Amino acid sequence: MNPALLSRLTAIVADVTGASPARLDAASGPGLTPGWDSQANLQIMVAIEEELDVVIPTQAVLTLRSLGEIARYLEDKVPAK
């Protein structure tokens, strides 16, 4: 897993949910992270699309259930920074 990408995603999730970035890791996800509910999940996906200039298809939005899964999904779609 790309640590730089995971770090960027962690910052996005923290911004949307209000969770402390220090409390987020690859296993963090809806229902496991305070503030990360179904509505926040949609906001997170939109924020990721805007921040990383990618499109996440609806089917992927519905199946990606953790920061780690999102990072693995995006690894080949987002240039490394």
Helix (H, G, I), strand (E, B) or coil at 41: helix
pLDDT of residue 78: 83
Residue 81, domain member (yes or no): no
Residue 66, domain member (yes or no): yes
Domain that holds residue 55: 3-74
CB-hemisphere CA count at 13 Å for 3? 0
What CATH number is associated with residue 61?
1.10.1200.10
pTM: 0.92
For 17-72, the pLDDT digits (tens) are 999 999 999 999 998 899 999 999 999 999 999 999 999 999 999 999 999 999 99
Q: What are phi and psi of 64, to 5 degrees?
A: -75, 115
Residue 79, domain member (yes or no): no
Number of domains in the chain: 1
Residue of 46, 65, 68, 63 whose CA lies nearest to 55: 46
Placement of tokens 């305070």 in the chain = 34
